[in-house]
Structures are given as C-alpha cells and as structure tokens.
Amino acid sequence: MIALVPAAVVQSPLPRNAWDMVATATITTKVILAVLLVFSLASWILIIWKWVQFRRTRALQGEFLSHVAKAQHLDEAYTAVVALPDSPYLRVFRHGMNFFSGLRPHAENPGGGLSAAQVETLRLVLEKEQVGERDALAHGLPWLAIIATVSPLLGLMGTVVGVMDAFVGISVQGTANITAVAPGIAEALITTVMGLAVAIPAVIGYNHFASRLGLFAGELQGFANEFIGALAREGKI
C-alpha cells in the first residue's frame, strides 16, 4: 500500500532570514514594503536636498554680512553686495533699498525723511519679503513630516494584516504550534520594522531643519530691523 502523507506535514520551507520572509511574503506585505521603500528614498532625497540648501544659504549669508559689515553707509553696502550671488539676505536688502528709493520722492518731511506711515509701509514690505524667503526655504519640509507620520502607521497596518493572515493559516492547518505561528508573525513584524526605519530619519531630519528654519527666520528679521535702524541712523527716515 502507498503511505499517505498528512496535509499538515506538506509545507513550504521555513524562511531562514528577513530576505526569505520578504520573498515569501503575501502580496499585501510586499505592496506595503514597496510603498515604504519609496517613502524612504523620498525622505533621503529631501534630507540631502535640504542639507545642501541650508548649508549654501548659511555660506551666502556669511559672505553677504561680511561685505555689509565693512561698509560705512547703506549706499556703500549696496554697491558692495550687488555683485554677490543671489541669496535671501541680498534679496531682502535689495528689495528694501529699492522700495525706500521709491518712497524718497514722496517724503512728507521737508528734511527729506519718511513719514511714520511710510516707515510702517517699509516695515510691512520687509516682513512680506521675509515671509516669502522663509516659505521658500521651508519648501519640502511638510513632506518629511508626512513621511515621518505615515510610515509607522503604514507599517503597523501591514503588521495587523500579517497577523490576521497568520491566524487564518493556523485555523486552516488546525495547529497552533510554534513552527506554524512563528513564520507568519515574523513576516508581519517586517513592515513595522521597515516603517520605523523610514520614520526615524525623517523625524530627525524634519526637527533639525525646522530648528534651523526658525533660526534663519529670526536672523533675517533681525537683519531687516537693523536695516531700518541704519536708515534712521543715517537720517534717511
């Protein structure tokens, strides 16, 4: 007679490492892992891009401020920095000088200074320019926040789905021994690990760049205030 092998004994080889678990994972797990991989690539591209952008902004800021510090008057400073590479500080300074030059012919003060309303208008114009520069430098940071928030949740969803599949497999096989349960649970936890691996660098990058953005905005506002103060010191307002 031919011996019959019980159906519960015939099973696929057990995975030996994480790669084996990914290769033998369900389609749902593979889709979630693929999405997390895309998120990881996107977050690292954003992190490298913002790092280069902030570093370049800091270098241009130092070069600009060094030229301004050597000048005795604003007109001299404008002549010294006009040929420098474009930067947020240069754009704010140039915009302020151009707007001030446009106000001068309409000054109400016989001595040539600006009225209180014109000074307030100049301040508002500089604030608007500062907000624009801050928003431009913040471009891309919301996506880092989204990736940092969504990735762990997506990994958790993959784990829940994987655990559900593992319990379904247990009910089909009719056994709950460790050999039957462990592979399914281990496969389910892969998405959680991947979600955390994607989220942690994104969180660190977002918090770091958000801190630097706040510092940049404060320094730019301080420069705008110093610009108005220099106008007052030179008797132009």
Number of structural domains in the chain: 1
In a domain, 15, yes or no: no
Residue with tokens 């991947």: 194
In a domain, 85, yes or no: yes
Looking at the domain assignment, is residue 223 inside a domain? Answer: yes
One-letter amino acid at 98 equals N
Establish if 17 belongs to a structural domain.
no
Asked if residue 69 belongs to a domain, the reply is yes
Task: Identify whether 18 is part of a domain.
Answer: no
What is the reported pTM?
0.79
**Domain range for residue 176?**
28-233
Per-residue pLDDT of the chain (237 residues; tens, 9 = 90+): 444 444 444 445 555 555 656 666 678 888 889 999 999 999 999 999 999 999 999 999 999 999 898 888 888 888 889 888 999 999 999 999 988 888 765 545 555 567 778 888 899 999 999 999 999 999 999 999 999 999 999 999 888 887 777 776 666 666 655 555 666 677 778 889 999 999 999 999 999 999 999 999 999 999 999 999 888 888 777
Confirm whether 20 is domain-assigned.
no
What residues contact residue 82 under an 8 Å CB cut-off, 6+ apart? Answer: 94
